[in-house]
Structure formats: C-alpha cells, structure tokens
Amino acid sequence: MMKFLKTIVLMMLLVGMVQAKTGVVTGGVAHTMPPWFKSSFLELADDVDEAKDNNRHVMLFFHLDECSYCDHMVKDFNQQPLKALIQKHFDVIAINIRGDKEVAINEEESLTEKELAAKVGVQYTPTVVFLNQKNQQVARTNGYRSPAKFTQTLGFVSSKAYENSTLAQYVESLKKTGTYQLQSHAMFAKITDFSKIKAPLAVIFEDKNCDACAYFYNTTLQDKNIKKEFDAFKVVRLDAGSTQAIIDNKGNKTTPKNWVQQLKLNYRPGIVLFNAGNEITRIDGFLYKFHFQEVLRYVSGDFYQEFATYNAYLAYRQKQLLEQGIDINISQ
C-alpha cells in the first residue's frame, strides 16, 4: 500500500512538472513604418548625398518588432505638425536592430542592421541617430521622446546648431519657462561630494521644463518593485539648472548645471547610474516599469560585469522570469 501511495505521489509531481506554468510576455505592439519613410537601398553615403542635395539630413530610426515605444513614436510622427517638420528637413530610414539586411555605411564598411545597432550602442528602442551632410553622427535620442521634446532635437539638427554646440547646450539655450516644481522624496539623499560614493549611485537630473517628471513620481515611483530596486542605490536628485557647488564622481569641482552639460544629458528626468565611481549606464528616455526596474538591477546586481550590454542582460533576465512562470508586461 505504501509503495502504491509513493507511486501516486511521484506521478502527481511529474504531472505538475509537465503542467508547470510558463510566463508570457504581453504589451508588445505590432507596428509598421510610415509609407513616407525613405525606401532606401541602405547605402548610407548615397542617402546622405541625396539628402544634402535637397537640403535635408538623414535620420536613422532604430526600431524593434513588437516595441510599444516604437509604435507610440511612429504614431507621433504621423501627426501634424511633427510630420510636416520631419518631411521638410529629414529623410527617415528604418533600421531593425535584429535585422539582417546589409547596411553600407560607406565604401569601406558594411554591416548588418543588428551589427550596426550594436556598433551604435543602441540600448533602448526607438533610438534615433542623426547624420550630418558628411555622413557623421551629430545627435541621437535614446528611447521615446514626446513630440515637444523631439521637436527640439529636430531644430538642433535642421539648423545645423551641432556645428557650434551640443544638443544639451542647444536645449538649454532655448530658455523656455516651465512650470514644473521639483518634488521631494524620502529616498533622496543630500550629497554634494560624489567622488566619495563607491556604492551604486543614481543621480536624477530634473528641471522646470521636465514634462516626464509627473509620470516618474506618480507612476514609476509608485511601483513596489522599482522602489525595492532603488533601495540598493544612494539616490540623489539635482536641479539641472542649479549653480550650487558640488564635486562630481571624478573629483572635479562643478555645479549640477555644468555637470549635466558635461554628461550631455538632454532628457528629464535623466538618471545616470554609477557603480564604484564610474558611470555604468543611464536612463535618458521614457521607460515603462519592467524595463525601468531591470536597468536598475543591471547596475546594482553587477550584471554589467557579466553582460556587455543591457540588451544582452535583458534577454537573459526575460528568459529567466518566463521559465519561473512569471508574466511580463512591457507596456505598463
């Protein structure tokens, strides 16, 4: 009888193993590129020459299938006045970061789409890279940007302001008077000497024109998993327009205003993640909760030492969670 019961228990365990739940990914959005994007042979030097002849610049739109951020931005591109502004000044070429099409950068170098994305260092999609009329990168945005913020980048490139300034300097020069009031949070530490912080450090830059800060406080920081990941960091919030004296992570005397310019950080809230005194990565585009928490974990868990890129880590992490039966929503 005992042997029979053991057999039954073993069978039940085996059935349970077979029927164990595998997690699913939800929130992905299928999207198509607008028909007015350039139908390119992906010979970038020729594309740049053609754009120059029409007094335009080339914009490379690095995207990913089922990317909800890409879908959101493509929809923005199809709305006026943004659509007219892009069509007037830019030839837009779509690059799939997992694609195998050959891209000829110039006569000497050709790469597949995914190799080019790796070379450019695409971390978030969509990443938009702008080329000048000499086939050189002069600006980029990482991740989703609102139409108002993206329009600033378009103005920077179309006016050729890149010849005399950085994008961060250009945005600062616009001197728009925003109404956002910087908020406080219990996790924010008061630190002015960042050279002494060797533990994981998150420096959040905000300013009065921060159109994504409300979402950051009201949605992102309300998530228990994100708050738990932040527990591993010293977290400091700085006013990107402040002239308060501070010491940066390299021991240089500076101000938040100068530091953010040196970092070439033009997104707000822009979050730079350090460990052992060195910048590891940054959040300089809009992220939903899952991707946000995993960027934090990538740094605090030292996974950057094992995985050369955040994307490589993310693929590993997503597979791990799904095998544990955990569902992942990538658009909330």
85-99 pLDDT, tens digit per residue, is 999 999 999 999 999
What pLDDT sits at residue 81?
Answer: 97
Task: Considering only residues 7 and 192, tell me which one the structure prediction assigns the higher pLDDT.
Answer: 192
CA 224 – CA 233 distance, rounded (Å): 15
Report the chain's terminal Cα–Cα distance, integer Å.
53
Give strand ranges (E) for 105-165: 110-112, 127-131, 137-142
3-state DSSP call for residue 293? helix
> Which residues 6+ apart lie within 8 Å of 266 measured at CB?
153, 167, 168, 171, 284
3-state DSSP call for residue 273? strand
Q: What is the DSSP letter of 222?
A: G
Spell out a b/e string for 184-195, using b for 16 or more CB atoms within 10 Å of the CB, else e.
eeeeeeebeebe
What pLDDT sits at residue 24?
Answer: 94
> Which residues 6+ apart lie within 8 Å of 45 measured at CB?
104, 105, 106, 107, 135
| CA torsion angle 263 265 269 273 (round to 10) | -40
What pLDDT sits at residue 174?
Answer: 83
3-state DSSP call for residue 270? strand
Instruction: Return the number of other C-beta atoms located less than 10 Å from residue 105's C-beta.
Output: 15
CA 271 – CA 291 distance, rounded (Å): 14
What pLDDT sits at residue 6?
Answer: 53
> Which residues 6+ apart lie within 8 Å of 53 measured at CB?
none
State the burial class of residue 280 (Cβ atoms within 10 Å of its Cβ: 0-12, 13-18, 19+). Answer: buried
CA 310 – CA 281 distance, rounded (Å): 8
What pLDDT sits at residue 78?
Answer: 97
Would you say residue 275 has pLDDT above 60? yes
What band does 239 get if pLDDT is binned at 50, 70 and 90?
very high
C-alpha Rg value of the chain to the nearest Å: 23
What band does 20 get if pLDDT is binned at 50, 70 and 90?
low
CA 134 – CA 141 distance, rounded (Å): 20
What φ, ψ does residue 92 adopt, rounded to 5°?
-100, 125
Average pLDDT for 53-79: 96
In angstroms, the Cα distances linking 249 to 69, 198, 206 are 32, 9, 18
What pLDDT sits at residue 18?
Answer: 47
What band does 136 get if pLDDT is binned at 50, 70 and 90?
very high
Residue 280, token pair as written in the block: 């590891």
What pLDDT sits at residue 12?
Answer: 53
Would you say residue 14 has pLDDT above 70? no
Average pLDDT for 57-69: 96
- Average predicted confidence (pLDDT) for the chain: 92
- Of the candidates 101, 108, 119, 123, which has an alpha carbon nearest to the alpha carbon of residue 41? 101
Dihedral sign of CA atoms 78, 264, 57, 154 in order: positive
Would you say residue 17 has pLDDT above 60? no
- Of the candidates 191, 211, 308, which has an alpha carbon nearest to the alpha carbon of residue 259? 191
What pLDDT sits at residue 179?
Answer: 83
Instruction: Return the number of other C-beta atoms located less than 10 Å from residue 239's C-beta.
Output: 16
